[in-house]
């Protein structure tokens, strides 16, 4: 009689104690993927820009090797010194915009 009444209350607190643990663990794994998702995005953009700049520098060095550095790729005209000073990897003169 008495034990019958005491049995139900016992499992109840046990169930309550179970869920809280997994629930507390969820926020952690949930936060990690979120942070990882943000980092690749920023890194990807940065790497993209760095790779593009590196390619531009290598191309400029190649033109320098061929003696075409400072020559507009669009009109073969000279690229102004001040333009090259501001953008050493520039491939076009002031009248033309790089693709
Ligand atoms: Zn030009």
Q: What is the pLDDT of residues 18-61, one digit of tens each?
A: 555 555 555 555 555 544 445 555 555 799 999 999 999 999 99
Share of the chain above pLDDT 90, in %: 52
Report how far ligand 1's centroid is from the alpha carbon of 82 (Å): 15
Q: How far apart are the CA of 97 and the centre of ligand 1, in A?
A: 8
Number of domains in the chain: 1
Structural domain contains residue 93: no
Q: Do 93 and 85 touch, CB atoms closer than 8 A? A: no
Q: Does 44 map to a domain? A: yes
The residue with greater pLDDT, 9 or 70, is 70
Give the whole-angstrom CA distance, residue 75 versus residue 93: 8
Q: How confident is the model at residue 98 (pLDDT cuts 50, 70, 90)?
A: confident
> Where in the sequence is the domain holding 57, given as residue range(s)?
15-86
Q: Tell me what the pLDDT averaged over the chain comes to.
A: 77
8-22, 40-54, 75-89 — which is least confidently predicted?
8-22
> How far, in Å, is the centroid of ligand 1 from the Cα of 78?
7
Distance 70 CA to ligand 1 centre (A): 10
Expressed in angstroms and rounded, the spacing between residue 71 Cα and the centre of ligand 1 is 8
Tokens of 31: 């936060």
How far, in Å, from the CA of 50 to the mean position of ligand 1? 26
In a domain, 63, yes or no: yes
HEC string of the chain equals CHHHHHCCCCHHHHHHHCCHHHHHHCHHHHHHHHHHHHHHHHHHHHHHHHHHHHHHHHHHHHHHHHCCCCECCCCCCECCHHHHHHCCCCCCCCCCCCC
């Amino acid at each position: 009689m008495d034990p019958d009444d005491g049995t139900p209350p016992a499992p109840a607190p046990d169930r309550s104690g179970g869920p809280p643990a997994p629930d507390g663990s969820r926020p952690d794994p949930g936060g990690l993927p979120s942070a990882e998702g943000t980092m690749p995005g920023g890194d990807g953009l940065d790497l993209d820009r760095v790779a593009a700049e590196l390619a531009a520098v290598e191309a400029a060095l190649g033109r320098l090797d061929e003696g075409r550095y400072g020559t507009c790729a669009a009109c073969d005209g000279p690229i102004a010194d001040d333009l090259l000073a501001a953008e050493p990897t520039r491939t076009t003169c002031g009248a033309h915009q790089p693709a």
